[in-house]
Structure 1
């Protein structure tokens, strides 16, 4: 990567790093590409690196969610004490949906327009759908199950946002 100082038309140094486009007249002044802190953006836009941070955050959240789903699966298979078959089925359903939607979170940064929207809807849906089922499956208390339909709706909306 080349680094230097951008020169405005008056010839005085502006003090901005650049990689290309200098000396190309008006087109070069409008579409100057900057490299700052590992991110790439348009000079003067203030967004140098923000889009890259957002794209990097989605796979991390999906990977952490998947790791949590696998840990919950291991706990459900080896450590959880459930008295009846219904609680075991609830726990396994929560875990299946948690792992499936963690994989969808990995794809959220690659959707065209509302990448933050799809990821946010899927995260909220996982929290509001899977956590009450995990809780009911482990404790036998159905007190949080009212949130599950809202969580399921958010998961559906998250898949719809992925399709946009």
Structure 2
């Protein structure tokens, strides 16, 4: 049975809405784990492999006449780029980098993006940042989110040890002035 689902978020929670009529009558069950949500009912099953971890104890679900609403409490403050992890195989090099937690060679990664992507200008820069974010560790992604948000988009750091200490200051490019609107 095909049932639609959608999601929205704020910095503290993710809400997944599953359009499933009469879920209570269909004996629905919802299990929420750190990085997985499993919803089942008669002839229906939804498994979400979440992008980031949640706190199951603070998460909940409820059924109404037309839908099931699953509220997931985020473990880490910030926005998610997508609801689920990509279903691609992680390369051996990325596995080694994640296990060792050694700094990534971002220049090498930029060259790989240039070879595989023929975009230019802002699109190329965005593709590079996306690739850095996707291949980084959880701490690197957390650092990127915090530094970008707190600096008004003027700083992007992958060093969580440096970023977590204080608020990240706004650092506009030379010759420009940052104005708060």
Determine which structure has more spread, i.e. the larger CA radius of gyration. 1
Asked if Structure 1 and Structure 2 have the same fold, meaning a TM-score greater than 0.5 normalized by the shorter chain, the answer is no
Instruction: Give the structure with the larger helix fraction.
Output: 1
Q: How high is the TM-score relative to the length of structure 2?
A: 0.24
Q: How high is the TM-score relative to the length of structure 1?
A: 0.26
Instruction: Give the structure with the larger strand fraction.
Output: 2
Structure ranking higher on relative contact order (CA contacts 8 Å, 6+ apart)? 1
